[in-house]
Amino acid sequence: MGRVLRVNLSEGRVRIEDLPSEDVLRKWVGGRGLGVYYMLKEVNPRVDPLSPENKAIVATGPLTGVTGIPSSGRWCSVTKSPLTNTIHDSHSGGKFGPELKFAGFDMVIVEGASEKPVYLWIYDGKAELRDAKHLWGKDTHSTTDMIREELAPVVGSDEAREIKVACIGPAGENLVRIACIINDKNRAAGRGGHGAVWGSKKLKAIAVRGHMKPRVANEERLEEVALKSMDIIKKSPVTSQTLPKYGTAALVNVINAHGIFPTRNFRTGVFPEASMISGERIADEIMDWKMAEEEVCWGCEIKCARYTRLVKPPFTGEGGGPEYETVWALGADTGTSDLYAVTKANYLCNELGLDTISMGATIATLMELVSLGKVPKEKLRGLKVEWGNGEALVELTWRTAYRSGIGDDLAEGAARLAKKYGAPEIAMVVRNQELPAYDPRGAQGHGLAYATSNRGGCHLRAYMIAPEVIGIPQLLNRFETKGKAAWVKEFQDVFAALDSLVVCKFVSFAYWADVLAEQLSAVTGWNVTADEFRKIGERIYNAERVFNILAFGDGEEYDTLPKRLLEEPMPEGPAKGHVVKLSEMLPEYYSVRGWVRGRPTRAKLEELDLKWLADRLEKEGLLPA
């Protein structure tokens, strides 16, 4: 039986609890799923995300830190997002997640709010809150170093170097709605403003160190499935060749060649200078391969990690990344082809604690607003905000973290920014979360995935780029709408269960639900089938939708896309002339989901053992007929 650490910041105390019963765990597993379960049980969905009544959950899963399971070095944060007002999970790699498990805990539930800055120190099954006033205002790198230095007299200098830290930077402290949580200096639980939730609670950091080995139900079966999994990964070109060599930015030239690399705030899908910010150029010009080896996530054989150095002024520095989504958001989406400016802005996002996707997309929104004459010049304080200006990109990143000048508006995210300046239609968002690096006008199923994502605009709820562009597990006609609903549901359900294990989605380029179910079975002894694994994910996805319905009436009117993608044909490239035909796909999606107008029916919820949620919806008058 695993353990939960419950931290009440209002009272300044911690206590240890057992995980829920095995019956609950078999339904929700861990990570994202168990986080959703606790949020539904303990948090009023209508709560202000930045109030003490919201909770911040740090969760691992049954596969986290298990030797032999590929890419199991992850953890996830679950909360109600201040950006989207939805239930929200955000995931991160590195080494923090396994270390939390080694320290004796599967989950940390943070509730209430402290009057003064604190950090949580967890060491071999024990935990305490420590003063963090001296850390408040520090960036994430300094915070990590200072905590290790401070704890060295407690655990010894050698042991202190092994302490893993997750923390917020100035952006989280300043309640920036696109603030993230950074662990291991360069890894981010990036999306949805989770850093702002920590900031609202005055929680600066969680530091962990442990020596406990996760228990496994069947070591022999684990060894067998681990070898099988590793063999499949080594045979997949994506996981054995492309990602190790070029990282995620290998996609830059591929996506641009398909005409779906969003450029200048999705005004087109072709960026002529794409090669200037590509994975190939990063590998050739700014990679530090030795440091990249140290950046590899715990237990990972794919090794997509990047570590780079900039040595030419005006942009100098070093750090993790940049990743594909980052070079797109800070690059093509803002019209910026200067790799050095893009990489410098990436470093700042890591150090200040900002989501690179939302940061770049929000700057792109500002650039379009300025081009339309919507922003008074005095708001910019002399800064030349225009497409492709790398200096403005870097400066606006600083201003956002500190809410300085126009940065105070950027800190609210693209949707609120565009609305304030009178052009809400140019915010490329779903449920207020900025869309990522694929224009769905050239990938219809991906457009449906964006529109129906429970956490807002996201490529990780259902990565339809795999079948529509890459050809995994098979190549689909990316412009076809028929049949895409079933594909989207399959991805959403399997990914929800995968996120609850907690493992990296890159393994899905190599294997799917059957192997994941085998891994879960070996570790827990549950004998889960592939279909049962899918059902776990379906339960989680429906439960998230119920939370959102209770929170703000989520449903059909929110399952949509920005007007630009629905009504403005792609102006050039291989996807020229196309729009997202969402109206052709939504009815089919609701049918395969068992939903009515974007909401689960009682029959569907009861099928998933969620009668208690059907009853809540009915009591609120929100259950569809």
- For the chain, the distance separating the N- and C-terminal CA atoms, rounded to the nearest angstrom, is 41
Compute the distance between CA of residue 484 and CA of residue 446 in angstroms, rounded to an integer.
9
Q: Give the model's pLDDT for residue 1.
A: 52
Class of domain 249-434: mainly alpha
Range 534-551 burial, b when 16+ CB lie within 10 A, else e: bbbbbbbbbbbbbbbbbb
Which amino acid is it at 348? L
pLDDT tens-place string over residues 350-403? 999 999 999 999 999 999 999 999 999 999 999 999 999 999 999 999 999 999
- Site of tokens 């973290």: 401
Question: Whole-number mean pLDDT of the chain?
Answer: 97
Q: Which contacts qualify for 225-231: CB closer than 8 Å, 24 or more apart?
A: 225/515, 225/518, 225/519, 225/522, 226/68, 226/69, 226/70, 226/519, 226/522, 227/68, 228/515, 228/518, 229/69, 229/70, 229/507, 229/510, 229/511, 229/515, 229/519, 230/70, 230/301
Q: Answer whether 3-209 and 440-619 agree in fold.
A: no
pTM of this prediction?
0.97
pLDDT value for 622: 98
What is the pLDDT averaged over residues 154-172?
97
Q: How many CB atoms lie within 10 A of CB 557?
A: 9
Identify the CATH number of the domain defined by range 440-619: 1.10.599.10
The pLDDT-based confidence of 322 (bands split at 50, 70, 90) is very high
**pLDDT > 70 fraction of the chain, expressed in percent and rounded:** 100
Burial label, 413 (beta-carbon count in 10 A; 0-12, 13-18, 19+): buried
| % of the chain surpassing 90 pLDDT | 96
Q: What pLDDT, on the 0 to 100 scale, is given for residue 604?
A: 99
For every residue of 572-585, DSSP letters joined together read SSTTTT----HHHH
Q: Which of 261-275, 290-304, 442-456 has the lowest average pLDDT?
A: 290-304
Residue 335 has pLDDT above 90, yes or no: yes
Per-domain boundaries in the chain = 3-209, 249-434, 440-619
List the CATH code of the domain at 3-209: 3.60.9.10
